[in-house]
A and B are shown apart, each in its own frame.
Chain A
Amino acid sequence: GAVVSQHPSWVICKSGTSVKIECRSLDFQATTMFWYRQFPKQSLMLMATSNEGSKATYEQGVEKDKFLINHASLTLSTLTVTSAHPEDSSFYICSARDVASGRETQYFGPGTRLLVL
Chain B
Amino acid sequence: GDSVTQMEGPVTLSEEAFLTINCTYTATGYPSLFWYVQYPGEGLQLLLKATKADDKGSNKGFEATYRKETTSFHLEKGSVQVSDSAVYFCALRGDSGNTPLVFGKGTRLSVIA
Is the CB of B7 closer than 8 A to any CB of chain A?
Answer: no
Q: Are A43 and B98 in contact (CB under 8 A)?
A: no
Most buried by B among A41, A49, A103, A108: A108
The 7 closest A-B pairs by CB, nearest first: A108-B44, A108-B43, A43-B105, A110-B43, A44-B103, A43-B103, A109-B43
Chain A residues with CB under 8 Å of chain B are 1, 4, 32, 34, 36, 41-44, 46, 49, 93, 95, 103-111
| Subset of 16 A-B contacts with CB under 8 Å | A36-B103, A42-B105, A43-B103, A44-B101, A49-B98, A49-B100, A93-B43, A95-B101, A103-B98, A104-B32, A104-B93, A105-B46, A107-B43, A108-B36, A108-B43, A109-B43
Alpha-carbon distance between A115 and B49 when the two chains are bound, in angstroms: 34
Interface hits, B33-87 → A, CB 8 Å? 36, 41-46, 49, 51
A109 to B45, CA, bound (A): 9
Inter-chain contacts of A46 with B (CB < 8 A): 100-102
Residue of B nearest to A51 (CB): B98
Which residues of chain A have C-beta atoms less than 8 A from B105's C-beta? 41-43
Question: Apart from A43-B104, A93-B44, what 13 extra A-B contacts exist at CB < 8 Å?
Answer: A34-B100, A43-B89, A44-B89, A46-B100, A46-B102, A49-B100, A104-B49, A105-B46, A106-B46, A106-B101, A108-B43, A110-B41, A110-B42
Residues of B contacting A95 with CB < 8 Å? Answer: 44, 101
- A43 B106 Cβ-Cβ under 8 A: yes
Residues of B within 8 A of A110 (CB): 41-43
CB distance from A13 to the nearest CB of B (A): 22
A4 and B43: CB pair below 8 A?
Answer: yes
Decide: A108 near B45, CB < 8 A? Known: A42-B105, A43-B105. Answer: yes
